[in-house]
Amino acid sequence: MNYGQLLVGSEVPDFRLPTVSGESTRLSDFRGKRVALFMWASW
């Protein structure tokens, strides 16, 4: 996916991720609520 350049303070594109219970959730499911995203990567 190419989201272009994301800038500080800009709206984050919607995405979908699996939950620990095996369901799936989207970022937009939390619209209007505070969300903390922790990104981790290992190369």
5 versus 13: the higher-pLDDT residue is 13
Residue-wise pLDDT for 9-40, tens only, equals 888 888 998 999 999 999 999 999 998 878 78
Q: How far apart are CA 10 and CA 19, in angstroms?
A: 25
14 versus 4: the higher-pLDDT residue is 14
pLDDT of residue 3: 64
DSSP 12: P
The pLDDT mean for the chain works out to 85
Q: How far apart are CA 32 and CA 42, in angstroms?
A: 31
